[in-house]
Structures are given as C-alpha cells and as structure tokens.
Structure 1
Amino acid sequence: MTYSVAINKLAGYACCTRAGGRFGFMLSVALLLGACSALPDKPVRAALYDFGPGALSPVPATRQAPLPPLALADISTPGGVLDNQAVLYRLAYADAQQLRPYSQARWSMPPAQLVRQRLRDTLSRNRAVLNAGEGPALNRGVNQGVLPRVLQLELEEFSHFFETPERSVGLVRLRATLVETTSSGEKLLAQRSITVQRPAPSADAPGGVRALTAATDAAIDEIATWLQQTP
C-alpha cells in the first residue's frame, strides 16, 4: 500500500467515523499507522569495492637501468565464473566446490580487470608496459624495432575462502605465461603457477575484500620478481 492510498483510506475512515467522535479519530490514526508500516523498505544498495587508491605519493626513481618493455594481454578467466562483479566466497567446511556471492557486496569491475590494472601500475614503475595487440608498429617503436615479450595471465581462483566459520583467507591463484612473438608465431619462454593466500581480518565481505587485496599485491610482487629472473 502506497502512502497516497493510505491517506485516501484515512479520509474515508474519518468521514465514516465522524459521528463517532474521539474514538473514530483514534481508530483512523491507528489504521493509517498500520498502513504505513506495511510499506516496503527501500532496497539496500550493495557496497562497492576495489583495491584502494594505490600509491598516494610518487614512487622514488630507481638508479638501475629500466627493464625491457613488456606487452600485457587481457587476463582470461577460465569458465567465465569471474567475469562478473560479484564478491565470491567458499565454505571449505561445508561444500568447497560451491562458489557463493555476497548479496550486499560487489567489485567496481570484474576481478580480472582489477588485477590487470593493479599489475600494470606495479610493473610500470620499472618498465614500459604496453597493451598487447595495440599494433606492431607502436610496440616495435619502443624497443628499437623488436617486439616486446607478452605476458599472458589466467585468473583461476579469486575468492574469500573459509577454512572454518572463524578462520578465512583471501585466495588468489594465477597462471602466468611469458611468450615471445616471432615471424612464425608465439614462442613459449616460461610459465608459472602462483597461489597466494592472506588472512581475512573478519568473516564477512569487507574482511574478504581486504584479504583478497593483500593476496593480489603479494601475487603481483611474485610475478614481477619472476619476470626479472626469466632470461
């Protein structure tokens, strides 16, 4: 029942009970309050999360020579489970195979896009990072006519993982592949699987988001170190 309908009903009750005096008036008010209490609540908007603002001050320049440029491909998500903005969790103690979404929490963009943005920001501190497929002419121009290596990533797991109702972690699993583009196609240079977990400060969506942010940053640091060590 809408508020306007409730008002109209009150007017009708008042007319019908005018002869009843004070009792009629009190009855009309009670009916109005009951009608208003039946009105549906406004839908609660889901909280929106990302990885935070990033560095708030310029990163100090390094004295080392900049690393070779790198082309970064879009991050794929096998199965498409992570192609939406849901904040997902697993209950290992109940059914570890089931991914469940938090009803009142969402990422600002799909997790793969958030991870790629964070990865690019980190790698850009020491090297030029290009978008794979922007165009051979642009990519060759950065490194004296040589196409840069391409980093490909698959985001296999990105969830708030509950080991018990009281203990949970942010779990991130990535597969990183480094390839070189040659005249005959792509040449595999190296591949690595990365699994990182970080404890959640609370057993809810905000705690899961904080844990997943920390796990993502740790995984990105591991990728950066691996790239520097790969000949």
Structure 2
Amino acid sequence: MTSAIRNAVAVLAATVGMTVLLAGCASKGQPTAQYDFGPLPQPQAKTGAAIGAIIVADIVGPAALDTERMQYRLLYADARQSRPYAYNQWTATPFQLMTQRMKAQIAQAGVKVLSTTDAAASPTVLRMEVNDFAQNFDSATSSSGIVNLRASLFRNHKLVDQKTFVRSSAAPSPDAAGGARALADATDAVTADVLVWLAALPPQ
C-alpha cells in the first residue's frame, strides 16, 4: 500500500469516527441538549459617553444559519460540508443569540441601546451581518469557534463607517458543549472590538 493510499485511508477513518462521535448513534435515543451563550462576562470599560444612544438592529446573515440546529465542519476532511449535531441544538437561532448577547454587552458598557421601534429617539443605527459562525475541527480532537461579522454604522440614513470583525476561540472540548463555549467567547470578543470601533468614530 502506497503512502498516499495509507494517508487517504487514515483521513477516511478519522472522518467516519469523528462523525459518529459528534452526531451520535441514533439507536441510543439520547435526549436533546440545548445550549445558549451562558452568563455575561465581566463588564467592559464604560464607553457609553463616547458613543451615546444607538439603535441596534437585529443581526442578520445567511439562511443556513437561521436555525436552532448546531453545526460543525471537519476542515481536515471536507471544509465545504456543514454537518449537524444529532442531539444538540441552540435555544434560539445564532442570529437571535448574538443579537441578545451583543445588545446586553453594549448596554453593559454604558451605551443607551435602543430598538428599531425607537427610531425617533436616535439618528444612529448599528446594523450587523454575520458572514461566518462555525465550529471548525482542525483534527478529531481540536476545534475552534469562529465569528466573522460585518458592522455598519448609519447616521440620518447615511453610512458613517463599515468594518469587518473576525474572532476565533479554541473549544475546551471536541463536542457541542465545547463549540457552544467557543462561539460564545468569540462573540464576546467581537462585541468588545465593535465597542472600541464605535467609541473611536467621530461623535454625532
């Protein structure tokens, strides 16, 4: 057997084993576990005075992420294929979890956070679109959560600035629980970056 064939067989075996480990065996009838982002981290530095009142629109993104199903990718096997966990899901869609988390943290930093129904209260609107939100496995035992998000700030319906933020966080375990923790940490890191960006923009 050539080394190329041996390597291909090894990758196939690792992929099959990982898929069974993550997806679980249907015959076991395991109960579904639900995950959210957990408690808020410690408050960031107060930046509200520099930012002022802001309308934070609900986060949007690709249709594939508009679901409660938890998904992962095996980068070492086929990075283009997204695979669902069999017995694990989010308590809400990633967009809903991120919107709730980021609004809470932005408010925690001292910013007056308004909803889109409060349009008359502030001319400043923050819109965010997710480009990527994934648990990626580099190997059968190592994964990380990555968040890629584009933020746009508008004042009086005019674009003030736009920036893309990317953060990655290592998962503490190679499973759904580890992925949930890693994606929560990556979201918190992106939120901190967004706050720094907002505070540095010219005041209204």
Normalised by the length of structure 1, the TM-score is 0.70
Which of 171, 178, 182 pairs up with 1:200? 171
> Could you tell me how far apart the structure 2 residues matched to 1:72 and 1:205 are?
29
> Could you tell me how far apart the structure 1 residues matched to 2:163 and 2:44 are?
29
Give aligned-pair identity as a percent. Answer: 39
Q: Highest CA radius of gyration, 1 or 2?
A: 1
**2:5 aligns to what?**
none
> Could you tell me how far apart the structure 2 residues matched to 1:61 and 1:191 are?
23
Instruction: Give aligned pairs, total.
Output: 175
User: Is 1:90 paired with 2:90?
Assistant: no
Cα distance 1:120–1:170, how it changes in 2: closer, same or farther (>3 A)?
A: same
Q: CA-to-partner distance for each residue in 1:58-104, whole Å, 9 max, x for gaps?
A: x69959846410001111112x0111001111111111111111111
Cα distance 1:160–1:180, how it changes in 2: closer, same or farther (>3 A)?
A: same
Cα distance 1:148–1:92, how it changes in 2: closer, same or farther (>3 A)?
A: same
Cα distance 1:62–1:112, how it changes in 2: closer, same or farther (>3 A)?
A: closer
> Could you tell me how far apart the structure 2 residues matched to 1:100 and 1:74 are?
26
Post-superposition shift, 1:175? 0.7
Q: Amino acid of the residue matched to residue 106 of structure 1?
A: Q
Which of 124, 138, 155 pairs up with 1:163? 138
- Superposition misfits of 4+ residues, deviation over 3 angstroms: 59-67
Structure number with greater CO (CA < 8 Å, separation at least 6) is 2
User: Is 1:174 paired with 2:160?
Assistant: no
Q: CA-to-partner distance for each residue in 1:134-165, whole Å, 9 max, x for gaps?
A: 0444x1xxxxxxx3310001112111101122
User: What does 1:19-38 align with in structure 2 at a 5 Å threshold?
Assistant: none
User: Is 1:123 paired with 2:106?
Assistant: yes
Cα distance 1:61–1:136, how it changes in 2: closer, same or farther (>3 A)?
A: same
Contact 1:174 1:194 in 2 (8 A): yes
**2:30 aligns to what?**
44
**2:159 aligns to what?**
188
Contact 1:71 1:129 in 2 (8 A): yes
CA RMSD of aligned residues (A): 2.3
**2:128 aligns to what?**
153
Question: Unmatched 5+ residue regions in structure 2?
Answer: 1-26
Normalised by the length of structure 2, the TM-score is 0.78
Q: CA-to-partner distance for each residue in 1:7-53, whole Å, 9 max, x for gaps?
A: xxxxxxxxxxxxxxxxxxxxxxxxxxxxxxxxxx8843210100113
> Could you tell me how far apart the structure 2 residues matched to 1:62 and 1:171 are?
26
> Could you tell me how far apart the structure 2 residues matched to 1:220 and 1:91 are?
27
Contact 2:51 2:198 in 1 (8 A): no
Question: Unmatched 5+ residue regions in structure 1?
Answer: 1-40, 140-146
**1:12 aligns to what?**
none
Cα distance 1:52–1:100, how it changes in 2: closer, same or farther (>3 A)?
A: same
